[in-house]
Structure 1
Amino acid sequence: MSFTPAQVGVQLYTLRDRFTTREEIVQTLSKVRDIGYQSVQFYRIPIDISEMRDILQKLGLSVCGVDVPVARLEQEFDQVLKEMELLDCRYITYSYGGDWSKGYLNGLEDYIKAISSIGERLKSTPFRFAYHNHSFEFVGYKGRAALEYFYEQTEYAGILAELDTYWVQHGGGDPADWISRYKGRVPIIHLKDLAIEQVEGKVTQVFAEVGQGNMNWDSILQAATDAEVEWLVVEQDFCAKDPFDSVKESYDFIITALSRLGQNAKGES
């Protein structure tokens, strides 16, 4: 498998400050398309789904994922599937949504049951749920990282992985290794870089545009190819510069890197 530009998307959470009114939505999606992106992932949809679909179709943008809280899937399952069908999107995505008052590990088993129930209900549909990790799931649990345990326990229910490269590395893991170990189960990966800053003697890890941090992108992209990943999605939680400049910088780096790795990404648009 090799990637084309059509498989490089952007998580619109990165551009959340420019995504509230209809006018902002049209402007933001137009800029995203002008950069070269052909697919987007929604963290929320602030206007009518049919109206959003029409805007996307006019701009030639597909939808690679839609964030949907588990609570909404439990309460509005059929409505969510209608929306996914309208957007022609297969992957429902979300991160941990358990009861934080209990602490992550204390609520983990209940969350696994809830997410597995959703996975079972989705088996008879064209749609699947992909779980997005952060670094707190790398705490130890039953002799391994809690994230590994989570994916073990939810595999039978069909829960997929939406691995985030920054958060895997932030948690002490190797992103390429984690992508490889779940071959065939990782339809989407989130690409964001991790850089080191030192201010007044204090060293911190910070978000960076893809290619501007310390991560090994050749190994990550090769692992994604080998693991049959479908979507490479840029997400940057916080940007030190204009977020449109950030997502363009990341896009340009990814396309160049794919071309350098022999995937001829520049040959298609």
Structure 2
Amino acid sequence: MTKPHLAAQVYTIRDFIKTADAFAASMQRVRAIGYDGVQLDLEHHPDVLAAAIKQACDDAGLAICISHFGYDLFEHELDAIIERQQIWQCNQTAIVNMPERYHKQGADGYRRFAAEASAIGETLAAAGITLSYHNHSFEFVRFGTQTGLDIIYAESDPRFLHAEIDTYWVQHGGGDPADWIQRVGGRMDIVHYKDMAIMPDGQQVFAEVGEGNLNWPAIVEATMETAVPWIVVEQDRCRRDPFESLAMSYQFLQRFR
């Protein structure tokens, strides 16, 4: 069984990638930890040119496994996204989240989003790019027997909209991360590994992988069984140096490799 590659989501180190020089130095640090690649999040390095990003990743020996863009860019700047993906030699991109206007419309809004995202994905597929959807927890609102996330994947075209399951947000929404990885098996190229810890006051917080309460043996087993090619480690907020957090997550995951 082929082991998935490990990548870091640059959102975790967003405060360290705001210039071309800072981005390049940070990519070297990510590679030194041991990661094979990165996931790009353009919002947090807007002043770094696409070519400079690619050069920095190449120099560090990091693959660009996937990118994240807001839905408005997919709607209005799709040609620019395709151009960036070609510069990065990256054939995967993902919608960060579904805009509020859709989930305000209830189940019909989810259906409309699924159809529209599929159409965008079809255009991207013609350019050799796969589109995925990155979930949060709001998609776990129920409409009878289905959640919003159920509707997105039931009503979208599996050829043109893949899944990018985020383990933290599935758990936050009351779902089972391992079960969801299995459910979208064969339709997921990237999975987001993110842990959840509980503070003494009951607050849920983001944690390094292995430092929280998610069932990692089950999650990793599901990832391996469904042959997901890439695991992306992300931590939205860190309570220590973000590079240390990335290193802790990386070291924890080595026990499963």
**TM-score range normalised by the length of the shorter chain:** over 0.9
| Mapping 1:204-219, distance limit 5 Å | 204-219=203-218
One-letter amino acid of the structure 1 residue matched with residue 256 of structure 2: A
Aligned residue for 1:69? 70
Alignment check: 8 A CA contact 2:233 2:249 kept? yes
Q: 1:195 aligns with which of 194, 197, 201?
A: 197
After superposition, give the CA deviation of every residue in 1:10-60 in whole Å (9 maximum; x if it has no partner): 100011111111222122111111111120001114311112111111111
Take 1:26 and 1:96, find their aligned partners in 2: how far apart are those partners? 28
Any idea what SS the aligned residue of 1:86 has? Answer: helix
Measured after TM superposition, the shift of residue 107 of structure 1 is 3.9
- When the two chains are superposed, the root-mean-square deviation of aligned CA atoms in Å is 1.8
Alignment check: 8 A CA contact 1:163 1:189 kept? yes
Measured after TM superposition, the shift of residue 120 of structure 1 is 2.0
The percent of aligned pairs where both chains have the same amino acid is 37
Runs of 4+ in 1 over 6 A off after TM superposition: none
Aligned residue for 2:238? 239
Aligned residue for 1:220? 219
Q: TM-score, normalised by structure 1?
A: 0.88
User: Quick check: 1:78 aligned with 2:79?
Assistant: yes
C-alpha distance 221-68 of structure 1, shift in aligned 2 (>3 A):
same
Measured after TM superposition, the shift of residue 181 of structure 1 is 1.1
Take 1:247 and 1:102, find their aligned partners in 2: how far apart are those partners? 33
C-alpha distance 125-214 of structure 1, shift in aligned 2 (>3 A):
same
Any idea what SS the aligned residue of 1:56 has? Answer: helix
Take 2:2 and 2:219, find their aligned partners in 1: how far apart are those partners? 13
One-letter amino acid of the structure 2 residue matched with residue 85 of structure 1: Q
For structure 1, which runs of at least 5 residues remain unmatched after alignment?
259-269
Aligned residue for 2:153? 151
After superposition, give the CA deviation of every residue in 1:58-89 in whole Å (9 maximum; x if it has no partner): 11111011112232223232332121122111
Q: TM-score, normalised by structure 2?
A: 0.92
Any idea what SS the aligned residue of 1:232 has? Answer: strand
Aligned residue for 1:40? 38
Any idea what SS the aligned residue of 1:33 has? Answer: helix
Q: 1:9 aligns with which of 7, 10, 16?
A: 7
Take 1:188 and 1:104, find their aligned partners in 2: how far apart are those partners? 29
Measured after TM superposition, the shift of residue 111 of structure 1 is 2.2
Q: 1:171 aligns with which of 170, 173, 183?
A: 173
Alignment check: 8 A CA contact 2:82 2:124 kept? no
Alignment check: 8 A CA contact 1:41 1:65 kept? yes
Alignment check: 8 A CA contact 2:103 2:110 kept? no
One-letter amino acid of the structure 2 residue matched with residue 48 of structure 1: L
After superposition, give the CA deviation of every residue in 1:220-247 in whole Å (9 maximum; x if it has no partner): 1110011120110000011111111101
Matched length: 253
